[in-house]
Structure 1
Amino acid sequence: MTFLTEPQRSQMLAYGAARASGQVMDPFPVVKLYTLDGPVCWLLTELDVDGDRAYGLTDAGTGFPELGYVSLSALEAVRGPRGLRIVADPHFKARQTLSAYVAEAQRDGSITD
């Protein structure tokens, strides 16, 4: 996937394998994806063994962020309102665990990082 660096991909696969084996975890998000021309944002923590299905917090800009899965290959085809692609934030460094981001986003109605 073009969104992830190799270290990010490796970390997300490790988190995905840990969850698949039944480990209870609350990792820090590994990557932030967003649209350059819209309010949509994803904070992703895990990647399934298929290398495409990612798990994390999604903010569709509707005021109701939620946890769930997303296909990275499907995101590659998505364009914002002005035709711009989804990109990874190269400067993103998670400051808290995914559950803390979820609590903030649900309180505020959006991801604020």
Structure 2
Amino acid sequence: MLPLIDAATRELLLANGRDCERDHHPVLKLFNPTGPATWLICAMEPDGDTLFGLCDLGVGEPELGYVSLDELKEVSAGLVIGLERDLSFRATHPISIYARAARAARRIVDLSSTLDMYPWV
């Protein structure tokens, strides 16, 4: 099983966290392979635990906010198949655009394949 965050991704997330004024592209996509939850993470606080990104628990209300890496690890450990990283994910827009599209669709959407639906992207 892969760790939720590898060393290179951790360094990029920490660098983004130091530059909190910028509208960063998500660097990491985590998801529950057996459920609706998805997280697009763009930054990490210096504590190494607090992540910032777009959180979608599958209840129709995705939101920007903070999530604990330790809590995600606990959730993952409690699942039959743990949370996974989407190794093919490559962000095409800043997190604010993903958030706008997610609010409109009531779930996180793949912007690379749905640009027609969101002309403001």
TM-score between the two structures when normalised by the length of structure 2: 0.84
SS at match of 1:58: strand
Name the residue aligned to 1:7.
8
Query: Aligned-pair distance for 1:72?
Result: 0.8
* Matched residue SS, 2:64: strand
Give the distance between the partners of 1:82 and 1:10, measured in 2 at CA: 27
Q: Which runs of 5+ in 2 are unaligned?
A: 111-121
Cα distance in 2 for residues equivalent to 1:39 and 1:8: 23
Look up the match of 2:102. 105
Structure with more relative contact order (C-alpha pairs < 8 Å, separation 6 or more) = 1
Aligned length: 109
5 Å-filtered alignment, 1:29-68, equals: 29-68=26-65
- In 2, distance between residues paired with 1:17 and 1:59? 24
Q: For 1:80 and 1:67, how far apart are their aligned partners in 2?
A: 24
C-alpha distance in structure 1 between counterparts of 2:71 and 2:79, whole Å:
18
1:74, distance to aligned residue in structure 2 (A): 1.1
1:71 to 47, 61, 68: 68
Q: Deviations over 1:64-94 (max 9, x none)?
A: 1001111111111114996221111111100
Q: What secondary structure sits across from 1:32 in the alignment?
A: strand
Give every structure 1 segment of 4 or more consecutive aligned residues whose post-TM-superposition deviation is greater than 4 Å. 79-82
Q: CA deviation at 1:95?
A: 1.1
CA RMSD across the alignment: 1.9
**Residue 86 (1) aligns with residue 83 (2):** yes
Identity rate, percent: 36
